Amino acid sequence: MNRKVTIDALKKKRDAVILAHNYQLPEIQDVADFVGDSLELSIQAKETDAHTIVFCGVDFMAETAKILCPEKTVLLPVKDATCPLANYLDAETILKAKELHPGAPVVLYINSTAESKAYADVVCTSANAVKVVRSLPSDEVIVGPDANLAAFIQDQLPQKKIVPVPPEGHCYVHDYFTEQDVREARRRGGMIICHPECRPGIQKISDIIASTGGMVSAAPQAEVWNIFTEKGMAYRLKTLFPDKTFYVKEEAICEDMKKTTLDDLVSSLEKNQYRIELSREVMDRARNAIERMIEIGR
Ligand code: 13P
Ligand code: SF4
């Protein structure tokens, strides 16, 4: 049987929906019910009627879906698909930062562990980080774990003091873009759009800074694009805008995002694996922070 047919039959049997991040392999994007950025996928997870959510992405994304829908079965097809950026931060570091900056609210990037989110006042994604921080009445705000995203927020909101926690947190895929990449892109021509996980120096000389969903929204503005984010984004953009040109950096690969294959997806649906399980207490505390973000974004 062809794999698309197998997946459709298993989806029906399990009453499942397949969510896939924009960085997933093309064959996964092709069979997913929804492809999107972290914010879009969180909203899809919250709103789906399906009994089971299969999350093709990395662990913090599937955990977010579980926190928002604790009564549903949430599956991550590859058990160890994780995000090294999320793993920069733990509860102890957050508590230390709170001690050093009493009264400053904690805004955590969605790329963080469920245990860390339990200590957040509000969560944000790259699509709404500035809006979330702007909405807070406090002049000082703790932001983690991505220092580059924190620098982006600081640049947009100079009236506030943003405290990055930890100061060295970064995504190895995005931190890898250099000024040389910008020079090459300028020689090639086209617009440069970078993810806010890129270094501040790269953000400053790019034309647009956007989440992966923001890149989809911006695409109609030009014919040729240099995309400074994970390579998988080019497939997503090319599927939506086949007549446009998208240049990406071939080495910009998130290894964990690329772990999920069609075989893993089939096994996940067949064996109901790997189920996300979190403690009730962590989920209840983290849910407040995630729902607050979704409310601010509406
Ligand atoms: P987006 O929410 O912009 O898709 O970003 C997620 C991510 O992991 C970027 O590396
Ligand atoms: Fe994490 Fe970076 Fe991979 Fe995104 S691209 S999932 S931030 S390691």
What span, in angstroms and rounded, lies between the C-alpha atoms of 169 and 106? 15
Find out whether the beta carbon of 212 lies less than 6 Å from any atom of ligand 1: yes
What mean pLDDT do residues 267-274 have?
Answer: 98
CA 9 to chain centre: 29
* pLDDT score recorded for residue 192: 98
User: What domains, with CATH codes, occur in the chain?
Assistant: 3-82+257-277 (3.40.50.10800), 86-170 (3.40.50.10800), 174-248 (3.40.50.10800)
Find out whether the beta carbon of 83 lies less than 6 Å from any atom of ligand 2: yes
**Residue written as token pair 């102890």:** 92
What mean pLDDT do residues 275-287 have?
Answer: 97
Give the tens place of pLDDT for each residue, 217-245. 999 999 999 999 999 999 999 999 999 99
* Token pair recorded at residue 106: 């904690």
Q: Which of 82-86, 237-241, 293-297 has the lowest mean pLDDT?
A: 293-297
Give the tens place of pLDDT for each residue, 128-176. 999 999 999 999 999 999 999 999 999 999 999 999 999 999 999 999 9
Give the tens place of pLDDT for each residue, 195-210. 999 999 999 999 999 9
Q: Which atom belonging to ligand 1 lies closest to the Cα atom of 257? A: 8
Q: 297: pLDDT confidence band, cut at 50, 70 and 90?
A: confident
Find out whether the beta carbon of 118 lies less than 6 Å from any atom of ligand 2: no
* pLDDT score recorded for residue 115: 97
Question: Across the chain, what does the average pLDDT equal?
Answer: 97
SS3 155: helix
Nearest CA to ligand 2 atom 5: 254
Find out whether the beta carbon of 211 lies less than 6 Å from any atom of ligand 1: yes
Residue 212: closest CA among 169, 248, 165: 248
Q: State which of 22, 83, 126 you would mutate to test the pocket of ligand 1, scoring each by most atoms of that ligand within 8 A of its C-beta.
A: 126
* pLDDT score recorded for residue 100: 98
Q: Does position 298 have pLDDT exceeding 90, yes or no?
A: no
How many angstroms separate the alpha carbon of residue 120 from the centre of ligand 1? 19
Give the tens place of pLDDT for each residue, 27-83. 999 999 999 999 999 999 999 999 999 999 999 999 999 999 999 999 999 999 999
The percentage of residues in the chain with a pLDDT greater than 70, rounded to a whole number, is: 99
Q: Does position 272 have pLDDT exceeding 90, yes or no?
A: yes
Strands 106-109 and 52-56: unpaired
- Please answer whether residues 202 and 170 qualify as being in contact, where contact means their C-beta atoms are separated by less than 8 angstroms: no
* pLDDT score recorded for residue 2: 87
* pLDDT score recorded for residue 1: 65
- pTM of the complete model: 0.97
How many angstroms separate the alpha carbon of residue 197 from the centre of ligand 1? 8
